[in-house]
Structure 1
Amino acid sequence: MKVVIVGAGPSGLVIAKSLLENADANFPFDPIILEQEHDIGGTFRYRTYEDAHLVSSKQLTSFSDFRAPPSFPDHPSAEAYVYYLRSYIDHFNLSDRIRLNTKVINIKRNSKGGHLVSYVTRDSKDSEWSSEVTTIHAPYIAICTGLHVLPYIPSIPGIEHVVAANQHIEKPVYHSSEYKKRSELEGKRIMIIGSGETGMDLAYGAAKAGAKEVVLCSQEGFLSFPNQLNDFELFGYKSDKGPGIPLDSLITNLAESAYVHPWVEASHLRWFISDFFIKRLMWVLTGTQAGCNQWVGEREPHRLGRAYVFLNKSPRAMPYINRPYRKRSKFFDSIARYIDPPEDSPPQTNFTVDLAPFPTHFLPNGRAVFTPSKRKDYIRMKDRDVRPEKVIFATGYSQEFGFLDKESGYPTPDEANIRNVVKEGDESVGFIGFVRPGVGAIPPIAEMQSLFWISILKGQVRNPLPPPRYHLLVEEDYRIRYGVDHSTYVSTLAKDIGAAPGLWEIWREYGTHVLVCYCFGAAFTPFYRLVGPYKSASAPGIIKTELWDTILRRGFLGNLVMGVIPMVFYLSINCVAFVLGTMWMMVGGKVE
């Protein structure tokens, strides 16, 4: 059973490995990866820049049965992660399955069943594509081209005036996918459009490079949190002793992902309650509820929280952004405060990154005109004469699937209505890696999607599937609609394929150590390799060592505040829902 996989990023590699590992006499999967670039790694290899690091932790991002080396920091560089992917290929003998410099130009349905995949090749990255087209037949197709491929650049009237005014500068206007080194920003007036994690990295890089001026434009605001918690001071006691705690490892499993009543899950009550308490905790520790030590750029109140947004976990530029806005009394700072990371010798003293709304247009002289609002940043910047020499669009990416034959009626990831992986009735085409977590990582999600798709093909998924209750809550006109809550989504897939272990089942087979780790840990993928059709012999050892160490790093107070208290609270809510649901079923109602 030939399976053509389009793309050799993390998603393409993990689906190839999973297919090989789960091939049998009835399903002799024979995967092949077609990659148009000259190397593996996808976005992590081709759309990164100097000093780029993962904002998700290695503990969460690593695949379930092949972990990142202990020598890696919690948040490795993009270069180190590509090294990890190459090690993954070697460990599972995937090299012979990968064809680099191979571009898929068309996929269409075969009238006799399956799909016809046509591709062209080249000798090297600098060579022209061959005119010779090769076509192969495959019963199954896995689309793994990723979310971050085609640069998205919004139209801003007058942007040509910036180009005209700065013809002496190389690339006065470009997308962040073309940005590679800080030296590009040195000594120039920089405008960055987009305040996501890439925009924040560019703003920080420009400040460190010695830019004359840096203006960071935010369309709807952002929610800033550090990817590692270790910079608080409470009553004079500093938390920066020893390694920090990765943010994405803090959400506990029990009553958050495991043992959640359908009514509690459907209401998203856990998300709203955690948002409520986190906002108050942030106010006590940092003086603001907008984010962690975030004094400007706050989102609208009705869209501020875990349920609505992708957390911005690249906070290095925040000290520069906060300077004109931070106001907190010395009294409250003496009780609790967030410690800004050291500036490690910036070229300018007290340099400020100016936050501003998106520009509506540029005047003929190259001056930016900003979108009017009541925002603090607009009030401060509305009369500023901002004439950037470089405009960088950090506005994300869009997806196109031009290689899918239109007449064949192929779905897109938006139409994959079964767990965002396949479209009902068209299960031979799988979309792997096309959701993005609010807090978490795409590679482990892709691994769980791979196992789910294999279970779909083998007819081993529970039936009927419960309603999807893992999507982030977005408005109808919002451009990005593929956001999910990481822990809810992966645990849902695990339940669908029979890989979510019960507490008694864990204790009986693995003992108390693994059980406690499962309850206190986040939704780490090794938890879903303990039981079921994809059980792995390496999972218990990984849980008892690496993941247990991650939990211990929280300390007693951290496990009390972030573990015991939430678990007891949410278990109580679930118990009440269980009793009410049982009573409801006794009178003929349904719990769904």
Structure 2
Amino acid sequence: MSCKRLAIIGAGSSGLVTLKHALDRLPGWEIVCFEKGGDTVGCWGNPYPGFISTSTKFTTQFSCYRKWDCEADPASRAKREDFFRGAEYGHYLKDFSGAFGLEKNIRLHATVDRITKVEEGWKLWMGEGTEVFNHVIVCTGLAERPRKVKTHLPVLRSMDELPEGKGIVVVGGGESAADIAHRLAAPELGNRVYLSLKTGIRVSPRYHPIRGVPSDFLRNRLMLSIHRGLRNAIGQKFVEARIRHREKFERAFHANPEGHAKDEAINARRKQWDARLTAAAKDNLFNVFHTKSDEFLDDVAEGRISIIGPPKGDGFREFSEFDGEGIIEIEPDIVCPMIGYTSGLEDLTDGELRVRDFHLGCLHVRHADMFLVGFARPIIGNVPTISEMQAKLVISLIAGNLERPRDLKARHEQERERVEREFPLLNTEALLPVEMFPYCDQLASMLDILPTVRKVGLRRWWKIMRAPASTLHYLDDDYDADAVDSQRVHSPPLITGLLVLIKLIDLVYRRMRRRASSRGSVCPG
């Protein structure tokens, strides 16, 4: 090959932001982005009528293409204008692609069927033709591919046309399950919807009773700097208090709530189910992965969704009672399984590549010319901005601006042990669960772009610690100091003071864990 060639597979949000940074940092390279579909809006560009994202526009936008601030105008709350609605995210991606002239490097309707390792790099198989590239970045991400269920009943997928007048069992407790259950329970459809849960769910409200702003805007770096174990323990108590005393929180912190049901009985049932689901989630999977599709709680309170336990056997006729010992018998018409995600990476590479073999979900431990972007699954957060940080790291390595860690294999083994220990209920062979900002900070540290006191000064650093956490804070070419100075802080002084107090406890807590770890009694956090 006369010049270096880079292949990017997938032109959704992860592929587009990777392509943008590759064109910026790799002059003289031949860069091709392959997209099997006919557009570049990805799977969430315009998924279905009435779609509302669970992360805000502010936290989901790329740092290299800013369009929104974190002001949180109360007038926008009723229409959920702080979030992407309908095709808005697709329009954002199209504008992004046009602003940086990415279309000329994208091949639409180009399906990569297989990837194989060759001496020069990697061979991509497409239909009857092949092409060889020096480096490959796979950006196809995690596809929703629920596990197969044994049933004689028709199976509904989340993107299928919604049925009417049917009895439907939705199986699963993640955001996708809660979202499809909510859509199926729309009054005009006349469905009987059952949400089958093995454990509870920790539901995070889109708009928080503190200040009435999106929950994203109260999640700051001061909070996230606290050890996860301590943070989750205190957070559990806070969530329980927030559910029980929502109205008091709203009055105390001037939330100016809108959209609550006016019927006191319905509000009481919503609160009761929120508390039951949270209590049953303790120490289970969906207390780790929060659900921000909170509208389904209104459906539960109003009787359009019935919460039931897991099925007994394969017939989907008998179910355990949720958080009880009884048996519930129903006669559903349709089953909608919403459990499980897959990368498709092993199929694409004939088993040669697995997600678990990529350090931090993006650097292959053996092949220095193969990368992933968009395969990390955030506990709470969003994929696009995580992907941008991964893209910056990967492209810096390819460009030679960053040295590949010499002890990568050892680092990876240590990281795998931690992931498997902390997420025993997840299939970590197929996905990498991450805490969004601690994970992004880890990548930023490798890139030497973390906003430290030494680099930004005490005043600006303290502002960054209290403002809504964002990848806009990293000190790279996209950093805007004036934008940081003007950023709104939504955390009330009382909450900030409590976080500072907890941080002092956290320092002692971490020291105690390190001492205990040195004696071999616990694993380090």
TM-score range, shorter chain: 0.7 to 0.9
1:223 aligned to 2:175?
A: no
1:33 aligned to 2:39?
A: no
Aligned residue identity for 2:194: V
2:123 aligned counterpart, secondary structure: strand
Partner residue of 2:219 out of 232, 251, 260: 251
C-alpha distance after superposition, 1:204-262 (max 9, x if no partner): 223323424221212323211212214x7xxxxxx6xxxx32212322214734xx7xx
Aligned partners of 2:32 and 2:106 also within 8 Å? yes
Residue 388 (structure 2) aligns with: 447
Classify 1:299/1:114 alpha carbon distance in 2 versus 1 (closer, same or farther; 3 Å): farther
Aligned residue identity for 1:41: V
**C-alpha deviation, 1:405, in angstroms:** 3.8
**C-alpha deviation, 1:285, in angstroms:** 3.4
1:220 aligned counterpart, secondary structure: coil
2:37 aligned counterpart, secondary structure: coil
For structure 2, the residue ranges without an aligned partner over 5 or more in a row are: 70-75, 249-267, 519-523
Classify 1:250/1:427 alpha carbon distance in 2 versus 1 (closer, same or farther; 3 Å): farther
Aligned partners of 2:389 and 2:444 also within 8 Å? yes
Aligned partners of 2:309 and 2:322 also within 8 Å? no
Quote the Cα distance in structure 1 between the aligned partners of 2:67 and 2:246.
33
Aligned partners of 2:197 and 2:322 also within 8 Å? no
Quote the Cα distance in structure 2 between the aligned partners of 1:401 and 1:580.
38
Identity in percent: 21
Quote the Cα distance in structure 2 between the aligned partners of 1:301 and 1:220.
6
Residue 12 (structure 1) aligns with: 15
Residue 317 (structure 1) aligns with: 296
Partner residue of 2:355 out of 413, 416, 438: 413
2:170 aligned counterpart, secondary structure: strand
**C-alpha deviation, 1:566, in angstroms:** 0.9
- After TM superposition, list the pairs within 5 Å mapping 1:403-482 onto structure 2: 404-406=348-350, 410-416=352-358, 418-457=359-398, 458=400, 459-460=402-403, 468=415, 471=419, 474=422, 476=424, 478-479=426-427, 482=432
Superposed CA RMSD in Å reads: 3.5
Aligned residue identity for 1:148: A
**C-alpha deviation, 1:518, in angstroms:** 0.8
Classify 1:483/1:3 alpha carbon distance in 2 versus 1 (closer, same or farther; 3 Å): same
Quote the Cα distance in structure 2 between the aligned partners of 1:541 and 1:292.
45
C-alpha distance after superposition, 1:51-103 (max 9, x if no partner): 11110111111101212457992111241001000111011110111111000
TM-score by length of 2: 0.80
2:169 aligned counterpart, secondary structure: strand
Aligned partners of 1:218 and 1:297 also within 8 Å? no
**C-alpha deviation, 1:455, in angstroms:** 3.2
Residue 303 (structure 1) aligns with: 283
Aligned partners of 1:252 and 1:562 also within 8 Å? no
1:224 aligned counterpart, secondary structure: coil
1:144 aligned to 2:139?
A: yes
Classify 1:519/1:147 alpha carbon distance in 2 versus 1 (closer, same or farther; 3 Å): same
**C-alpha deviation, 1:527, in angstroms:** 0.8
TM-score by length of 1: 0.72
1:502 aligned to 2:452?
A: yes
**C-alpha deviation, 1:279, in angstroms:** 3.4
**C-alpha deviation, 1:561, in angstroms:** 4.1
C-alpha distance after superposition, 1:336-388 (max 9, x if no partner): xxxxxxxxxxxxxx54311112323465xxx6111x46724x63xx244x212
1:154 aligned to 2:109?
A: no
Aligned residue identity for 1:117: L
Partner residue of 2:159 out of 139, 159, 177: 177
C-alpha distance after superposition, 1:182-220 (max 9, x if no partner): xx3332222222232222223222332342422121232
Quote the Cα distance in structure 2 between the aligned partners of 1:317 and 1:580.
39
C-alpha distance after superposition, 1:130-168 (max 9, x if no partner): xxx23222111111111125x223323xx21x3xxxxxx
Classify 1:291/1:64 alpha carbon distance in 2 versus 1 (closer, same or farther; 3 Å): farther
2:183 aligned counterpart, secondary structure: helix
Aligned residue identity for 2:483: I
1:116 aligned to 2:123?
A: yes
Residue 109 (structure 2) aligns with: 101
Classify 1:186/1:178 alpha carbon distance in 2 versus 1 (closer, same or farther; 3 Å): closer
- After TM superposition, list the pairs within 5 Å mapping 1:155-554 onto structure 2: 155-156=149-150, 159-160=151-152, 162=153, 172-179=154-161, 184-208=162-186, 209-230=188-209, 244-254=212-222, 256-257=224-225, 268-285=229-246, 294-298=274-278, 300=280, 302-303=282-283, 309-321=288-300, 323=301, 350-361=302-313, 363=315, 368-370=317-319, 372=320, 375-376=323-324, 379=326, 382-384=327-329, 386-401=330-345, 404-406=348-350, 410-416=352-358, 418-457=359-398, 458=400, 459-460=402-403, 468=415, 471=419, 474=422, 476=424, 478-479=426-427, 482-507=432-457, 512=459, 514-528=460-474, 530=475, 534-536=476-478, 539-545=480-486, 548-549=487-488, 551=489, 554=490
Quote the Cα distance in structure 2 between the aligned partners of 1:282 and 1:148.
33
